[in-house]
Amino acid sequence: MIQVRKVSKIYLQGKQEICALSDVTFSIGKGEFISIMGASGSGKSTLLNLIGGLDQPSMGEIFIDGSPLHGISDDELTLIRRKKIGFVFQFFNLLPILTAEENVGLPLLLDGIPFSQIRGKAIDLLASVGLGSRTKHRPEQLSGGEMQRVAIARALITDPSVLLADEPTGNLDSHISEEILGLLKNLNQAGQTIVMVTHDARAASFGNRIIKLKDGGIIEDVAVSGRAE
Ligand SMILES: Nc1ncnc2c1ncn2[C@@H]1O[C@H](COP(=O)(O)OP(=O)(O)OP(=O)(O)O)[C@@H](O)[C@H]1O
Ligand SMILES: [Mg+2]
């Protein structure tokens, strides 16, 4: 479903070249829940951002559902990203002036669909992440765990091919982290493909495959048989 082929990413910092990823090749199959681990600076976010079309590789190719993410215009990339990718971030990135249901509907609003046509789906999604009674709350009126649930609902409103999550529990305490990870696990069991970046081995164990990065390269790629309880 997603192919990453010989992908490298080199950042230019002044005259210095920083190789954030080098020659990374792997595939993501439909229905997988992949955890990407590795030390700080190993290239995890860089890889996720490339898969999500937030950035372009310096070398190599990435395909999502057969569509290339390279060699296309920024506008085309934005369209593919909106249709096929759901993104969840460590700091939630909700808009403070919008209610939960408006935040969830935002990706479709940006596509020009009127909110009256979106609201029902936004409310259904909020209910599915356990926030049926918080639809009119603004982010400041929600807990961290609830904000992340809103962000997950927002990421799902376009029925994305893949949900990408960069340290989704990095800003939550361990009890709430377990709830969010359980939610992601349930979404995966319902068929949602997920790629999650995490520092935390416990969080990674919720996935069914763990890819470890070191210095911009894959050093391990293993299936997880059963999750430690
Ligand atoms: N925009 C940028 N310009 C220059 N260098 C960058 C840029 N983004 C990332 N880097 C460098 O690329 C390398 C990989 O960064 P990346 O953010 O992918 O790491 P990470 O594994 O996500 O780390 P962390 O766990 O701390 O989030 C680092 O050395 C980083 O300093
Ligand atoms: Mg990172």
What pLDDT, on the 0 to 100 scale, is given for residue 164? 97
- The H or E element that residue 1 is part of is none
Residue 38 Cβ contacting ligand 1 at under 6 Å: yes
Token pair in block for residue 173: 């305490």
The pairing of strands 33-38 and 16-28 is unpaired
Looking at domain 29-57+72-223, its CATH architecture is: 3-Layer(aba) Sandwich (3.40)
**Which one of the ligands is nearest to 10 CA?**
1
CB atoms within 10 A of CB 12: 9
Which residue, judged by its Cα, is nearest atom 1 of ligand 1? 11
How far apart (Å, rounded) are the C-alpha atoms in residues 172 and 187? 19
**Which one of the ligands is nearest to 40 CA?**
1
Read off the pTM: 0.94
The residue extents of the domains of the chain are 29-57+72-223
Token pair in block for residue 112: 């020009």
Are 165 and 197 contacting, i.e. CB atoms less than 8 angstroms apart? Answer: yes
Give the atom of ligand 1 at the shortest distance from the alpha carbon of 49. 18
How far apart (Å, rounded) are the C-alpha atoms in residues 154 and 164? 12
What pLDDT, on the 0 to 100 scale, is given for residue 227? 52
Query: Could you give the 3-state DSSP secondary structure of residue 161?
Result: coil
User: Which amino acid makes up residue 70?
Assistant: H
Are 84 and 64 contacting, i.e. CB atoms less than 8 angstroms apart? Answer: yes
Per-residue pLDDT of the chain (229 residues), as tens digits, is 999 999 999 999 889 999 999 999 999 999 999 999 999 999 999 999 999 999 999 999 999 999 999 888 888 998 899 889 999 999 999 999 999 999 999 999 988 999 999 999 999 999 999 999 999 999 999 999 999 999 999 999 999 999 999 999 999 999 999 999 999 999 999 999 999 999 999 999 999 999 999 999 999 999 987 655 5
What pLDDT, on the 0 to 100 scale, is given for residue 46? 97
